[in-house]
Amino acid sequence: MTAEVSKPAPGGGKVHLTHGHLMALLRDMLRVRRFEDRCAELYTQEKIRGFLHLYNGEEAVTVGVCAALEPRDAVVATYREHAQALVRGTSMRAVMAEMFGKASGCSGGRGGSMHLFDREHRLYGGNAIVGGGLPVAVGLALADAMRGRDAVTACFFGDGAAAEGEFHESLNLAALWRLPVLFLCENNLYAMGTALRFSHASPDLAARAHSYGLPAESVDGMDVVAVEAAARRAVTAIRAGAGPYFLECRTYRFRAHSMFDAQLYREKAEVEEWTHRDPLPRLIDWMRTAGHLHDDDLKALEDAVATELEDAVAFAEAAEWEPVETLTRFVTSAEDRP
């Protein structure tokens, strides 16, 4: 990993690179990667329908950030949020069943890939309106602040959201009220198929956050330890009462935007270049070099992930569909109301 992250980070952001912790990071990265690959297969088999947005290439962002969060913290995510659910603790079974649209999915089959929710793990969705999650995160943090609860709301969004009005409104309001929000920009350089340079007059997103009075930094989003160290710095500052914090994670999406994307907007060479920075082999190589990973460790990990994944697929296959008779459930809390 990068040299600076092995040093104690200022403000308590130190990552303890113990064997156990590194293995936990690797395990989550593998779980997300293998899950996403399997979803792509299941999509071609028409087991999963609708829009499917995969996270390959961006795993280090969620895994690194979540390593810095506590169970009491809240997460708001986008429509590319399988990783947040899996890493925060939603079972792979419940996430896969949701992909299939089954009743035992984490949203009861009513949300699908873009709308994963989990009350127990404080996952407030999968929001498929770009920028729409930011105000909600501000409100979650407002409630925590008003009740004096020590919780951080981690709000994930893409570079595309930084062009939305709600980005500016939310950063301003969170800073004005000094709310405990960690704004996490997953900058993968493309808002669907439009490159950052075609939609932002100034592509320096951290500078934009800084202009609202937020501490802001950019980090290599392909380096899980760098992300975790930065997230720890941010969370420590937020918990100390410094107000919101902005972290831009520079990353890259290896797969298409969704399963309907022919990727006419980017060169193969560019994708190729980024795959050399793939966060997964990067972590594996580093762990090997540092003596933290042996071939049989990796194999055992891969086997465990494969077992978990196949169990989740079998569970989703066998799971029940929500009966059509309950179509209008959960429109209002009073079930008999139209």
Partner 1 sequence: MSTQTLPPIPQTATTTYRECVREAIRDALARDDRVFLMGEDVGHYGGCYAVTKGLLAEFGPDRIRDTPLSESTFTGAGIGAALNGMRPIVEIMTVNFSLLAMDQIVNGAATLLHMSGGQFTVPLVIRMATGAGRQLAAQHSHSLEGWYAHVPGLRILAPATLTDARGMLWPALEDPDPVLIFEHVMLYNATGPTPDADTVKAVDITHAARRREGTDVALITYGGMLGRTLEAAEALEKDGISAEVIDLRVLRPLDEDTVLSAVRRTRRAVVVDEGWRSGSLSAEISARIMDQAFWDLDAPVARVCSAEVPMPYAKHLEQAALPSVEAIVQAARGTLGKGAP
Binding site for partner 1 (CB under 8 A): 74, 76, 105-111, 115, 117-119, 124-127, 129, 132, 134-144, 146-147, 153, 165-166, 169-170, 172-173, 176-177, 329-333, 337-338
Residue 269 has a CB neighbour count (10 Å cut-off) of 8
- Cα–Cα distance between 279 and 265 in angstroms, integer? 23
- For residue 30, give the amino acid letter: L
Of 117 and 286, CB closest to partner 1: 117
In the complex with partner 1, the residue whose CB is nearer, 307 or 332, is 332
The residue type found at 61 is V
Structure tokens at 64: 């690194």
Contact 254, 272 (CB under 8 A): no
Q: Which is nearer to partner 1, 172 or 199 (CB)?
A: 172
Residue 190 beta carbon to partner 1: minimum distance, rounded to whole angstroms: 22
**Contact predicate 180/238, CB 8 Å:** yes
Residue with tokens 């500052």: 237
Strands 123-127 and 74-78: parallel
**Any bridge partners for residue 123, and if so which?**
75, 118
Residue whose CB is less far from partner 1, 90 or 187? 90
**Residue 257 beta carbon to partner 1: minimum distance, rounded to whole angstroms:** 20
Closest contact distance (angstroms) between CB of 176 and partner 1 is 7
Residue nearer to partner 1 on the CB measure, 25 or 137: 137
- CB-wise, 38 or 121, nearer to partner 1? 121
The closest of 215, 186, 209 to 83, measured between CA atoms, is 186
CB of 199 vs partner 1, minimal distance in Å: 19
Whole-angstrom distance, CA of residue 186 vs CA of residue 211: 19
Q: Closest approach of Cβ 153 to partner 1, in Å?
A: 8
Residue closer to partner 1 (CB basis): 100 or 286: 100
* Least distance between partner 1 and beta carbon 258 (Å): 18
Cα distance between residue 243 and residue 142, in whole Å: 11
CB of 135 to partner 1, least distance (A): 2
- Which has the closest alpha carbon to 64: 46, 42, 87? 87
